[in-house]
Amino acid sequence: MRYWIRALCFGALMMIASGCAQKGVTPEVPKVRSDLPKVESIKTLSDMTSVGFEWKMIPSSRIEGYLLYRLDPGSSDGKLKRVATIVDRYSSHYVDENLQPGSLYVYQMATYTKEGFESLQSKPVRVKTAPMVASVSFLRAIANLPKRIKLIWRPHQDMRVKGYIIERTTVGKPQKWEEIAVVNNRLSAEYIDKEIKPEEVYVYRVRVKLCNGLVSGPSTAVKAITKALPKPPSALHATQDLPRKIHLEWQPSPTPDVVYYKVYRSPFANAFYSYRAKTDRTYFDDKIDDDGKVYYYKVSAVDKDGLESPIPEVPVMGGTLAKPSAPTITAAKTAFNQGIILWEPGDDRADRYDVIRSHWEGLTRQERTFANIYGNKFVDKFMKPGVKYTYRVVEIDRNGLRSEPSEPVDLYIETKQ
């Protein structure tokens, strides 16, 4: 009698414990019958995302099949949940898939009847999935390249690796890793990042991607700094006193691998600069077919890799030599059938003068130039009586630059009666 009471109490406790273990799995508490055959001798075999089960088949006609319960790692309520119903009592194998690598799972099994009753659950089985493969074991960033950073790594030895995921962040900014590329093929071993800015410090890491879509954790991060832009030249000077050209000179860039300089020019100080020339010297002559022309200049340096220095913000003004000022005729008269003209130079640049004489012959205007007159006086010995002559004087400096003609004067020798 006492034995029967103890057995009854034990069975009731088992039913309560079993029911608690399955609470919340379905809208109703599972109906447990302790007299139903239990699943025994559960064996497991696992990989990274799957667990295979093998158990002793129960061919009893009292059951329909088997139920599989699982406790996920980090479960908030700590309760097992039903994850599979195996509908054939003659089954003895099952695979639970889509699991997390390197995680511990707890399983229990039970039999069930067509009326919906369940047996007591089996003993808990703890199974840990295989860990995810590690990322690449060697990663190196090659810096100091023009407008690029080259990453190399050792190809992964695991044949399940399908490719590599490249991630990047920037030093000095909120660390946010960004996927910038996917390199396919396990045997690929490099990536060149060209979407970079000069003198930025970048940090890279690599994840491996398996053929089943799983992605590993990140590799050890590596840093690289892009090659700095060359320093611009300094002390740019532009002339304003040369005829038909502007001579530029500057101090060389302190960057050792600079190979040439680029000259930019604009007619305005603050905008519209265009490329004018390149030179491997520290000077440049800008030839201009105009007098008194003003331009603004900026000069940059370019290194052996084609990297160009920042273009200076402040330009330097240069200009061609302006024309001499026009002379002023101070006296004009005739004497002894000759014309006499006196003048004052327009400025102190005068080297010589041209006198331009013009007159009308019928409907044709004739013009003659008396060139290379030194001094401030001209005597015209070739005047004809009865003809009105107009004279203008042009000043010429030692560079051959010509002024505008002076204001004209007229001379006339009357015809004798």
Strands 31-32 and 117-118: parallel
- Domain limits of the chain? 2-128, 139-225, 234-319, 328-412
How is 275-288 classified by DSSP, letter by letter?
Answer: EEEEESSSEEEEE-
Which residues in 205-243 are b (16+ Cβ under 10 Å) and which e? Answer: bbbbbbeeebebebbeebebbbbebbebbeebebbeebe
Q: What is the pLDDT of residues 304-337, one digit of tens each?
A: 988 899 999 999 999 999 999 999 999 999 998 9
The domain 328-412 is placed in CATH, from the list 2.60.40.10, 3.30.950.10, 1.10.1660.10, 3.40.50.300, at 2.60.40.10
With beta carbons less than 8 A apart as the criterion, state whether 321 and 291 touch: yes
Q: pTM score, two decimals?
A: 0.60
Per-residue pLDDT tens digits for 3-58:
333 333 333 333 333 332 333 334 357 789 999 999 999 999 999 999 999 999 99
Q: What is the distance between the terminal CA atoms of the chain, rounded to a whole angstrom?
A: 178
CATH number of the structural domain 2-128: 2.60.40.10
The phi, psi pair for 327, rounded to 5°, reads -70, 170
pLDDT at 416: 73
Please identify, in words, the CATH class of the domain defined by 234-319. mainly beta
Q: Classify domain 139-225 at the CATH superfamily level.
A: Immunoglobulins (2.60.40.10)
Backbone angles phi, psi at 333, to 5 degrees: -155, 170
pLDDT in tens, 100-150: 999 999 999 999 999 999 999 999 999 999 999 999 989 999 987 888 899
